[in-house]
Amino acid sequence: MNIKNCTINDIDEIFRLYKIASDYQKAKKTVVVWPEFERTLIETEITENRQWKLIIDNKIACVWATTFSDEQIWQEKNNDAAVYIHRIATNPNFRGNNFVGIIVEWAKKYANEHQKDFIRLDTLGDNKGLIHHYTKSGFTFLGMFDLEDTRGLPDHYQTAPACLFEIDLTIQ
């Protein structure tokens, strides 16, 4: 198992995994389904070394993105030193491996290397299964919040309140 930055050569696989995740959300009848993301968004994340992949047996098993700022979602808490994780998508051939737990362990080291005090992520809607999964993986569920300004965010942020999660590394 290896974690490293995605390259532009991975973009088709990233979009394939996003499509699979979106189809899975539809099949599970979740409140919020991922839209088709803009290709330029993913290209920018790749160029800025913010798109990651977990590789097993030379195959991409999971992808996610990171950022050090997420003001529209985290509002005043965005002033904290944090790494934000977005769009975790798993290759269905590798489901059941608790990649969120692996990402958390990786993110702790990554946050420490970048002098960050928090690891944060969000999801949308009252997805009890995902809330349980994230809290089981070490995140504290901070609650559900209506976002004040969703301009420029992907379309799915317009439809439901945000569930916010964090790991406070200062108390670890």
CB 131 within 8 A of CB 141: yes
Predicted confidence (pLDDT) at residue 31 exceeds the cutoff of 80: no
Amino acid 155: pLDDT: 75
Mean pLDDT to the nearest integer, 128-156: 89
Indicate the pTM of the whole model.
0.94
**Which residue, among 106, 94, 17, 120, has the nearest Cα to 63 in the 3D structure?**
17
Q: In this structure, what DSSP letter does residue 161 have?
A: P
pLDDT at site 50: 98
Here the CATH number for the domain that contains residue 25 is 3.40.630.30
Task: Give backbone dihedrals phi and psi of 83, rounded to 5 degrees, phi first.
Answer: -105, 130
What is the per-residue pLDDT across 96-140, written as a single tens digit (0 to 9) for each? 999 999 999 999 999 999 999 999 999 988 888 899 999 999 999
Of the candidates 94, 99, 4, 18, the one whose C-alpha atom is nearest the C-alpha of residue 49 is 4
Residue 35 has a pLDDT of: 84
pLDDT range class, residue 172, cuts 50, 70, 90: low
Burial of 15 (0-12, 13-18, 19+ CB in 10 A): middle
Q: Residue 36, class by beta-carbon neighbours within 10 Å (0-12 exposed, 13-18 middle, 19+ buried)?
A: exposed
State the helix-helix crossing angle for 39-47 and 11-27, rounded to 10 degrees: 130
pLDDT of residue 81: 98
| pLDDT, averaged across the chain | 93
The range of the structural domain enclosing residue 26 comes to: 2-171
Which is more confident, 166 or 158?
Answer: 166
For the residues 153-170, what does the mean pLDDT come to? 87
What pLDDT is attached to residue 113? 97
Whether 85 shows a pLDDT value over 90: the answer reads yes
pLDDT on residue 158: 77
Q: In the chain, at which residue ranges do the beta strands (DSSP E only) sit?
A: 2-5, 51-56, 59-67, 82-90, 118-124, 140-145, 162-168
Number of domains in the chain: 1
Yes or no: say if 55 and 1 are a contact pair by the CB < 8 Å rule: yes
Average pLDDT score over residue span 143-158: 83
